[in-house]
Structure 1
Amino acid sequence: MTLTLRKTLFTTTILSTLCLGANAMAADYRNNPFTLTYDTAITQNLKGKVNLQTVNYPLNGINISANVYTPANFNPNKKYPAIVVAHPNGGVKEQVAGLYAQKLAEQGYITIVADASYQGASGGEPRNTDKPFNRINDIHGMVDFLQNFQGVDVNRIGALGICGGGGYTLATAQSDKRIKSVATVSMFNTGLVRRNGMNDSQIASIQERLAQASQARTLENQGDIQYSANADLTKITDDEIAKMPAGLYREGFEYYGKTHFHPNSTPRYTTSSLLDLMTFDATDHVNLINQPLLMIAGSRADTRYMTEQAFAKATGTQNKELVLIDGASHIETYWKPEYVKPISEKLVAFFGKNL
């Protein structure tokens, strides 16, 4: 492989993993007992307020680590609508997924956000294996958990996916009809980008990258784990970030490496995962979604086209809505109050009507 191609691969794999940006420091995970990174995060469980419960459960032989948010004045003998929240690629439950899970809990929903299998605080080896089957099954697993959680109305479970979690949520809802309504924020079609690159910028190198992934699997079977997008976020300097191209790439490093840093979050994934990722597309059977569908994206997001493509293909439901948040980039939908507020309000209205 040429040096130029290696540099291009590194840039694109980092970019497509980080679906993740901010200009001012948010809450420091070290100062939060739940290690939450977002502003307005709860810091303690108080009577009459939204509470957070850390839970663990087995899924396909792997221990899953999750946070469950319960509404204010939660009464386990009552029935509440509930929502599973899937986090972005490279993200963990303490970041943006937790933010929206808390926002929804504040409006009366039981919500759960789990670290993906092989990632974050969840188990699984090799670490940071990133395969569509696992991410989809993680969402099925969150639904399984909620169905057995006291207080959940099993007939009113919805799903929210953010960035890569949005694409996997679309794929999950195609078959899992326990999910009664589906929403995405800044949806990222991971398989499409792993295969074609952002805006189809890497189509010419597909076969070469598949050969690299195949070789990585051979090495992995010999005990030598190969990683793509293997950047150490703790060593990225402000000057290096400033020199990065504007958009998802730069803002992602700001968000995950600086302002909303969490030690369990990383952009890297096993190179062998590309064997599964590059043959996956979140929209392949999106017409099977017959549930109410809401898709939200920033009007300035360089990933906006993925939401629009998926929305156009979602012909199986007549109850669908595409919302563009004026002026927002992909990452800004994760944290900026002026964008989080209207997104949260739209989500609450959507789930309130369709759960």
Structure 2
Amino acid sequence: MNTHTVKTVEFQNLGWMSAGHLYLPPDFDPARQYAAIVSTHPIGSCKEQTSGSVYGAALARAGMIVLAFDASFQGESGGAPRWLEDPALRVSDIRFAVDYLQSLSYVDAQRIGAIGICGGGGYTIQAAMTDHRIRALASITGVNFGRLMREGFSQFQPLAALQAIAQQRSAEAAGADRLEQDLLPASPQAAQQAGIQDVDVLQATEYYKTPRGQAANGQTRNLMSFNGAAVAWDAFQFAEQFLTQPLLVVAGDQPGGFGAYRDAHEIYGRAASRDKQLLIVPDCSHYDLYDQPEAVAQVLEQMLPFFRRHLAAESAR
């Protein structure tokens, strides 16, 4: 049985190299030209998790080339300090990933699409607004990280959070150690002991902190002193003007604290795209869409024909 293959690659970013996995279709022929997809991982994740091993692999098996990559300052990509999560730089990463795909002789530069999962979905939406080399995109349980920072991640006190960030950054400028924050409890047991009830936090912990989804580079951490950049950032700003490409928005029907269900409806309503689809997967949570076979199958049932249609050779010319 033919299957996809995975090639380890790196590509130039601003002043460092980005690390990626290039998923190649079965019976890959370098003399041909293929449609290609940039796959952007969630916040705290890495290319070895859902963006690559689940969705990258599935799209490759369907005949497309997929680049799943590590965010700058994270995973195997370069950049310092480590574990920085800056939305503007995460969006910039996607542009460099498109640059790399365009440099490959076997990629049709007119047939490049993009997907993103969780925070990566929000980043992909923002990237597509100002980089129209992205011809079609899908947001899978996408989250607007700026909204999340202003709300749940700051305990709905963004000004207080900004003051704390300013104090920490001042301390670090004076020589204090960087403060690395883990975004999740250490284990499902720790989450239960802490009395956490939110389905997204509980299931995120079960995904990232157990063998189900655990990966060496998926560290679920960031630098507290650099979080201020996200507080005044909005993944959906200007969507009514600039998000014109075909758009597929996916979320589960079980809302959680990270807000993907709410964000899905918002961006679907706001996007200027004439061709847009909203898929609400029944009996499904945010993290079911990361790797659970039945949930992923329902996404692929809509996503594969979506990209085949919009990245077909005749529709891209």
- TM-score (ref. length: structure 2): 0.91
Structure 2 residue identity aligned to 1:118: F
Corresponding residue number in structure 1 for 2:291? 335
Q: 1:238 to 1:247 in 2, by over 3 A?
A: closer
Corresponding residue number in structure 1 for 2:315? none
3-state SS, counterpart of residue 109 of structure 2: strand
Structure 1 residue identity aligned to 2:282: D
Structure 2 residue identity aligned to 1:306: D
- 1:306 equivalent to 2:260? Answer no
3-state SS, counterpart of residue 182 of structure 2: coil
2:189 is aligned, of 239, 244, 259, to 239
**Equivalent residues of 2:188, 2:205 under 8 A apart:** no
**Equivalent residues of 2:34, 2:108 under 8 A apart:** yes
**Equivalent residues of 1:68, 1:111 under 8 A apart:** yes
Kindly report structure 1 stretches of 4+ aligned residues shifted beyond 4 Å.
Answer: none
Cα deviations by residue, 1:23-80 (Å, 9 ceiling, x for unpaired): xxxxxxxxxxxxxxxxxxxxxxx9x531100001220011211000010111111111
1:352 is aligned, of 308, 311, 314, to 308
Alignment of 1:314-333 (within 5 A): 314=271, 316-333=272-289
Deviation at 1:231, TM superposition (A): 6.1
**Equivalent residues of 2:184, 2:205 under 8 A apart:** no
Deviation at 1:261, TM superposition (A): 0.8
- TM-score (ref. length: structure 1): 0.82
Alignment of 1:273-288 (within 5 A): 273-287=226-240, 288=242
Alignment of 1:238-277 (within 5 A): 238-243=188-193, 244-258=196-210, 259-277=212-230
Deviation at 1:310, TM superposition (A): 1.6
1:207 is aligned, of 159, 166, 173, to 159
Corresponding residue number in structure 2 for 1:135? 90
Corresponding residue number in structure 1 for 2:148? 193
Cα deviations by residue, 1:213-237 (Å, 9 ceiling, x for unpaired): 112222232343443633687xx34
Corresponding residue number in structure 2 for 1:60? 14
Q: 1:344 to 1:239 in 2, by over 3 A?
A: same
Corresponding residue number in structure 2 for 1:30? none
- 1:114 equivalent to 2:64? Answer no
Deviation at 1:238, TM superposition (A): 4.1
Cα deviations by residue, 1:128-179 (Å, 9 ceiling, x for unpaired): 0110111001100110010011310100000101100000000000010000
3-state SS, counterpart of residue 138 of structure 2: strand
3-state SS, counterpart of residue 146 of structure 1: helix
3-state SS, counterpart of residue 174 of structure 1: helix
Cα distance in 2 between the residues matched to 1:280 and 1:292: 24
**Equivalent residues of 2:187, 2:205 under 8 A apart:** no
Corresponding residue number in structure 1 for 2:137? 182
Q: 1:225 to 1:141 in 2, by over 3 A?
A: farther
Q: 1:77 to 1:343 in 2, by over 3 A?
A: same
Structure 1 residue identity aligned to 2:13: L
1:103 is aligned, of 55, 58, 80, to 58
Cα distance in 2 between the residues matched to 1:114 and 1:330: 21
3-state SS, counterpart of residue 190 of structure 2: helix
Higher RCO, Cα 8 Å, sep 6+? 1
Aligned-residue RMSD, C-alpha: 1.7
**Equivalent residues of 2:146, 2:232 under 8 A apart:** yes
Cα deviations by residue, 1:194-245 (Å, 9 ceiling, x for unpaired): 01227xx833x22111111112222232343443633687xx3442233431
3-state SS, counterpart of residue 132 of structure 2: coil
The alignment covers a number of residue pairs equal to 303
Structure 1, gaps ≥5 residues long: 1-45
3-state SS, counterpart of residue 215 of structure 1: helix
Q: 1:159 to 1:261 in 2, by over 3 A?
A: same
Corresponding residue number in structure 2 for 1:150? 105
Cα deviations by residue, 1:281-319 (Å, 9 ceiling, x for unpaired): 1011112111001100001132210111121111x2111
- 1:229 equivalent to 2:186? Answer no
**Equivalent residues of 2:187, 2:206 under 8 A apart:** no
Q: 1:231 to 1:188 in 2, by over 3 A?
A: closer
Deviation at 1:275, TM superposition (A): 1.8
**Equivalent residues of 1:225, 1:270 under 8 A apart:** no
Cα distance in 2 between the residues matched to 1:223 and 1:118: 21
Cα deviations by residue, 1:246-268 (Å, 9 ceiling, x for unpaired): 41000001100102111211222
**Equivalent residues of 1:126, 1:225 under 8 A apart:** no
Q: 1:274 to 1:177 in 2, by over 3 A?
A: same
Cα distance in 1 between the residues matched to 2:158 and 2:3: 51
**Equivalent residues of 2:6, 2:24 under 8 A apart:** yes
Cα distance in 1 between the residues matched to 2:88 and 2:171: 22
Cα deviations by residue, 1:94-127 (Å, 9 ceiling, x for unpaired): 0000110110000000000100000111111111
Percent identical pairs in the alignment equals: 33
- 1:218 equivalent to 2:170? Answer yes
- 1:85 equivalent to 2:39? Answer yes
Cα distance in 1 between the residues matched to 2:58 and 2:46: 17
